Amino acid sequence: MTSTPADVGSRGAPRGAAGTTPAAPPGGRRRRTLSSSQWAAVGFAAPLLVYLVLFYAYPLWRNIDLSVHDYTIRAFVQGDAEFVGLQNYVDVFSSSTFPTALRNTFVFMFGSIAFQFTIGLALAVFFRSSFRLSSTLRAMFLVPWLLPLIVSASTWAWMLNSENGIVNSVITAFGGEQINWLTSPDTALLSVTIANIWLGIPFNLVILYSGREHDRPACRGGAELGRRDLCLRDLAGRLPAALAVGADRRPDHRLAARGTGRGRAGAPGVGRLDGVHRG
């Protein structure tokens, strides 16, 4: 007796009690779908990811691409720059001005971090006690951090102007001589460091003050239990954020564009440190 393909298929396929094919075993693959809360998390994270890609990942890749090509104005416009590999890095490290530039960078970075953190910590301790207008004063200390960079740079460029700046006006009013704050290699680095310290104090104040306010009950309990180092250990947890932001304040050229005319050739090692930038 011959059997048709339909009979073979009906006999070969196991059926359930009601004659239907049983469901797939629990161990089988199932298509996973995101829940509404997971989709909401993706939606909230998407703008941040786009921001990181556009303003961090792409500029980083672009900087690396520029560093391994020999770019000129013509090559930059036409997009046919010659690939030179690591030759640009070799030229930088073998330059006679590299040690001076490296020293200025370390002075700028560690000097800014030290004073930003020290002054910010002192202000956080000062505002620990509540007094009249304390909230107003804390808000006023945030102004340098909230101002746009172009406003801060223009303000400091005017204040440190050699001819009609307010700093030199005060100095000459007391019988002193004018100082070329932005055009002299002796004072350019000091000028931009002071401006960068002024920009970074508010962030350190916010971080350290919020840490002290959050840990105040724990500090009191620790003191009662004899654990008097609790406050210091909890405050130390805020150090990485404050130090990281302070170290990330790179110099810009907006400040010196108003006053300096010497640039890299006239002031070796100060060419990249003749302005301020908020991280």
Predicted local confidence at residue 263, as pLDDT: 39
Predicted local confidence at residue 125, as pLDDT: 87
The domains of the chain are located at 39-94, 97-266
pTM of the prediction? 0.59
Q: Are the CB atoms for 276 and 192 separated by under 8 Å?
A: yes
- From the CB of residue 279, how many other CB atoms can be counted at a distance below 10 Å? 14
229 forms bridges with which residues in the sheet? Answer: none
Per-residue pLDDT tens digits for 210-246: 765 555 555 554 444 444 444 555 555 555 555 555 5
Cα separation, 96 vs 117, whole angstroms = 33
Residues in the chain: 279
pLDDT band at residue 86, thresholds of 50, 70 and 90?
very high
Predicted local confidence at residue 262, as pLDDT: 41
* HSE value, Cβ hemisphere, 13 Å, CA-based, for 34: 8
User: Position of tokens 């002024």?
Assistant: 198
Share of residues in the chain with pLDDT > 70 (%): 64
Residue 250 has pLDDT above 90, yes or no: no
Mean pLDDT of the chain: 75
Predicted local confidence at residue 114, as pLDDT: 94
Question: Over 230-275, what HEC string results?
Answer: HHHHHHHCCHHHHHHHHHCCCCCCCCHHHCCCCHHHHCCCCCCCCC
Cα separation, 126 vs 13, whole angstroms = 81
Q: Are the CB atoms for 255 and 151 separated by under 8 Å?
A: no
Per-residue pLDDT tens digits for 158-204: 999 988 899 999 999 998 888 999 999 899 999 999 999 998 898 88
Task: Write out the CATH class of domain 97-266.
Answer: mainly alpha
Share of residues in the chain with pLDDT > 90 (%): 35
Q: Which of 246, 173, 157, 168 is nearest to 205 (CA)?
A: 246
